[in-house]
Amino acid sequence: MKVKFLGGAEEVGRLAVRIEEKDTSVMVDYGIIPDKPPKYPLPPEQVNGLFLTHAHLDHCGAMPAYYHSMETSFNSTILTANSIKPLLIDSLKIAGIEGYPRFFNSDDVSLLYENFNEARYGESYDLGNFKITPMSAGHIPGSTMFRFENSASIAVTGDIFTRDTRLLTGARPFKTDVLVIESTYAGKNHEDRDHVIARLKSKVKEVIESGGKVILPTFAVGRTQELAMILADTGYNISVDGMGNSITDIYMHTDGFFRSPSEFRKGIRKTTRIRGQRMRERALESDIIITTSGMLDGGPVLGYIEKLLNDNKSAIFLTGYQVENTNGRSLMENGTLKLAGTTVRPQMQLDFFDLSAHAGHDDLVSFIKAVDPQKVVLCHGEKREELLPDLSQYEVILPMNGQEFTV
């Protein structure tokens, strides 16, 4: 079997992995690095099918570019397919506003949907010489690991989380000869999630009872909904703004992906979903505002921060990884961010809560050992080698972008 990363091998972002055996080849993910301007993977190469693990831009952001030059089937869960539409349209809009080069247009997005083939967890199907089995990756709703079987089997996890959360059941191990797995958190473990949630709730209470408001800048896909569920039983007024609402609408209409659909709906119904400028004024009367963007680089969150800028009773609580060169990273490191081109120093309180949806170091090792493959291919990480001492019994490959190798 031949494997080649067109992106995402030695970096977090723009994952694109091509797998070929005999006459059949597939591409798993075709994402971007959401930089300014976004970074794309190597140009598309002919394949018999595209497979998308999940609806994050670092996995899906370049996928329509494939349809600019060729047509092939697009395989993902229905929830992933529906969730990427607002993200892709929005990234086209931003590229237009910022003058970034565009590698696809809205016709290519339509073509992608015309070629859609629904993947269902646990239901195997054939494509060329491959028997394909989609499985839940536990990372965000709809996220999928794909196993491709021919004379041997190879599986790609995409991003993976192995523990159960309020929203999802964690990824479960399975049999495969070759395991291609992400390694974002190689060398790092997460604080226990229950402790993080308890600390978040108690800090939220502290801020609100002392007369402040809590702004939670958050990613639209998965995190917005998880936070709404976590905070729904606090009894405070919660407003949800930004693209997270479009994703929530999609989630509300798609069954079969949540650990407890009734708990999910119950949590969402306790929040007020903000639509339009008029509601936005009123949202400032609520105790908690959950809103995009998660790294403070646009979206309604900046408007709310601008209003509360000098209110030292209010707080900004970050819950996700903050990429370099983003407002979120600048806020964490220097206490400043850019609002409409001007650098400001909010007087608001600031805290970080690790609600990552990526498996930590020890969980990655346990998962790999439970799968027990012959070969392990580590990707989607900057410190992959930190996993090597714990995987000494396996043949481990650390691929580089653009390099083809045989497994």
- We find the least distance from the C-beta atom of residue 136 to Zn ion, in angstroms, to be 14
- We find the least distance from the C-beta atom of residue 54 to Zn ion, in angstroms, to be 6
By the 8 A CB rule, do 171 and 180 touch?
A: no
Dihedral sign (CA 156, 158, 163, 169)? negative
- Span near Zn ion by CB under 5 A; candidates 151-159, 229-237, 252-260, 311-319: 151-159
By the 8 A CB rule, do 383 and 187 touch?
A: yes
- We find the least distance from the C-beta atom of residue 150 to Zn ion, in angstroms, to be 26
298: nearest Cα among 306, 289, 308, 287: 306
- We find the least distance from the C-beta atom of residue 137 to Zn ion, in angstroms, to be 9
Compute the distance between CA of residue 274 and CA of residue 241 in angstroms, rounded to an integer. Answer: 5
Nearer to Zn ion, 26 or 140 (CB): 140
Tokens of 291: 């809103």
- We find the least distance from the C-beta atom of residue 401 to Zn ion, in angstroms, to be 15
- Span near Zn ion by CB under 5 A; candidates 100-108, 155-163, 220-228, 270-278: 155-163
Nearer to Zn ion, 56 or 273 (CB): 56
- Span near Zn ion by CB under 5 A; candidates 105-113, 115-123, 153-161, 167-175: 153-161
- Span near Zn ion by CB under 5 A; candidates 105-113, 120-128, 159-167, 384-392: 159-167
Nearer to Zn ion, 232 or 359 (CB): 359
* Residue carrying structure tokens 């930590």: 360
Q: Which of residues 55-74 bind Zn ion (CB under 5 A)?
A: 56, 58
- We find the least distance from the C-beta atom of residue 221 to Zn ion, in angstroms, to be 8
Residue 159 is a binding residue for Zn ion (CB under 5 A): yes
Strands 337-339 and 130-136: unpaired
Strand order in the sheet with 315-318: 272-273, 238-241, 288-291, 214-217, 315-318, 349-352
Residue 10 is a binding residue for Zn ion (CB under 5 A): no
User: Please, which residues bridge with residue 26 across strands?
Assistant: 19, 49
- We find the least distance from the C-beta atom of residue 159 to Zn ion, in angstroms, to be 4
Nearer to Zn ion, 159 or 297 (CB): 159
- Span near Zn ion by CB under 5 A; candidates 53-61, 230-238, 264-272, 382-390: 53-61
Nearer to Zn ion, 10 or 159 (CB): 159
Nearer to Zn ion, 250 or 315 (CB): 250
Q: Helix 244-252 to helix 223-231 angle, to the nearest 10 degrees?
A: 80
Nearer to Zn ion, 273 or 384 (CB): 384
* Residue carrying structure tokens 């191990």: 173
Nearer to Zn ion, 20 or 159 (CB): 159
- We find the least distance from the C-beta atom of residue 144 to Zn ion, in angstroms, to be 11
Nearer to Zn ion, 20 or 58 (CB): 58
Binding mask 171-200 vs Zn ion (x if CB under 5 A, - otherwise)?
A: ------------------------------
How many residues sit in the footprint of Zn ion (CB under 5 A)? 3
386: nearest Cα among 357, 404, 364, 401: 364
Give the DSSP per-residue string, 51-117.
Answer: E---S-HHHHTTHHHHHHH---EEEE-HHHHHHHHHHHHHHHHHHHHHT---S--HHHHHHHHHTEE
- We find the least distance from the C-beta atom of residue 138 to Zn ion, in angstroms, to be 11
Q: Maximum distance among all alpha carbons in the chain?
A: 66
Compute the distance between CA of residue 389 and CA of residue 407 in angstroms, rounded to an integer. Answer: 21
Compute the distance between CA of residue 339 and CA of residue 215 in angstroms, rounded to an integer. Answer: 16
18: which residues sit within 8 A by CB, 6+ positions away?
Answer: 2, 3, 4, 5, 6, 25, 26, 27, 28, 45, 47
- Span near Zn ion by CB under 5 A; candidates 49-57, 333-341, 359-367, 391-399: 49-57
> Which residues sit at the interface with Zn ion, rule CB under 5 A?
56, 58, 159
